[in-house]
Amino acid sequence: MRGPLHPMAATPSVLACAGAIGLFGCAPPMPASMGHPLLGAASPPFHETAIDERSVDVPGTLRTHVTVIDFWASWCGSCQQTMPALERLYQDRRAEGLVVVGVSVDDSPDEAAAGAEAFGVSFPIVHDGGHGLQYAFGVSQVPTTFVVDRSGTVRFVGRDPSSIQRAVIALMDR
């Protein structure tokens, strides 16, 4: 049996690990994502007018921003937690370039506007009356949230507000 190692014996390993961390960064890891066909693929592009008349161009002019696209409805119970959490995230990170877009699958723009007001959101809301966006993104239930990186690639799909937040932070801190 050998005696204890000299304290300097581990130095090369420690330096190699420290160098790897410095080289590759210390960004938090991405949380686990739902399995979805768009994960790792380009976000479907769309150009719509929000219910408040703002122009929404995804990824288009937003390609240099981390973008959150949330499919929701005013009648959705889980959306009552997701939408306010997304609003807090938007307020905390929009100065750093975070973009959040809500896509309402409600029956009418009036229902979408009432829901957005009830949830207290200030980010743009698009009404998907013909369900074309819902189809393009492969959304079968709400809420479903997509987090898109700066290059326009879908990096996270999920529903849990804390996982969405971790995904956004991981991408923004890179």
Query: At 51, which CATH number?
Result: 3.40.30.10
Q: Using CA atoms in the order 24, 35, 38, 65, what is the torsion angle rounded to 10 degrees?
A: -40
pLDDT at 16: 42
Domain span at residue 78 reads 31-172
DSSP state of 5: P
In a domain, 106, yes or no: yes
The alpha-helical segments, DSSP class H, found in 2-157 are 11-24, 79-93, 109-119, 132-136
In a domain, 7, yes or no: no
Q: Which residues are CB-contacts of 75 (< 8 A; sequence separation ≥ 6)?
A: 106, 115
Of 30, 33, 62, 23, nearest in space to 45 by CA: 62
In a domain, 41, yes or no: yes
In a domain, 24, yes or no: no
In a domain, 166, yes or no: yes
pLDDT at 30: 55
Angle between helices 161-172 and 79-93 (to 10 degrees): 20
Mean pLDDT of 131-159: 95
pLDDT at 10 over 70: no
Query: Residue 157's beta-bridge partner residues?
Result: 146
Mean pLDDT of 138-152: 95
In a domain, 20, yes or no: no
Mean pLDDT of 57-74: 86
pLDDT at 27 over 50: no
Q: Using CA atoms in the order 160, 163, 167, 172, what is the torsion angle rounded to 10 degrees?
A: 100
Count of domains for the chain: 1
**What does the alpha-carbon distance between residue 171 and residue 98 come to, in Å, rounded to a whole number?**
10
**What does the alpha-carbon distance between residue 80 and residue 65 come to, in Å, rounded to a whole number?**
26
**What does the alpha-carbon distance between residue 49 and residue 36 come to, in Å, rounded to a whole number?**
27
62: confidence class by pLDDT, cuts 50, 70, 90? low
pLDDT at 13 over 70: no
pLDDT at 20 over 50: no
Mean pLDDT of 101-115: 97
